[in-house]
Amino acid sequence: MSRKSKQKPVVDHRGVTIYHAFKGRAELSYWYSLEPGQNEDSENVFDVRRLPRSYRSGLTIEDQEARKIALRRAIDHGYNFSSAARGNYGQFLRRIFTWRDPK
């Protein structure tokens, strides 16, 4: 049986299912994917610490339950997790071009 077929979701909320990403056989604490069995170097993983601050607000993100709350908040708001995935550089470019010099 493959890791994909037996991996349980971290969050299954409003039709969105999120799984831990892996480094070797170990589950990573902060990296997640919308697909089961993804490794840290996959283009389909995202770091929960990079979610917009509004989803992490008031939480100690080092705590696993707090990460689940942040993920549920993002789902409730309709956050596009695919846009935050490592393989999607559009979000990175948008941030560069919308950055403004505070001077």
Let me know if residue 93 belongs to a domain: yes
The domain of 8 spans 3-98
* Tokens read off for 41: 């170097």
Number of domains in the chain: 1
Residue whose pair of structure tokens reads 């490794």 in the numeric block: 39
H or E stretch covering 30: strand 26-33
* Tokens read off for 88: 């999607």
* pLDDT of the chain, 103 residues: tens digit per residue: 455 668 999 999 999 999 999 999 999 999 999 999 999 888 889 999 989 999 999 999 999 999 999 999 999 999 988 877 866 555 555 555 555 555 5
- In this prediction, residue 99 carries a pLDDT of 52
Let me know if residue 103 belongs to a domain: no
- In this prediction, residue 95 carries a pLDDT of 53
- In this prediction, residue 98 carries a pLDDT of 57
Global pTM reads: 0.79
Let me know if residue 60 belongs to a domain: yes
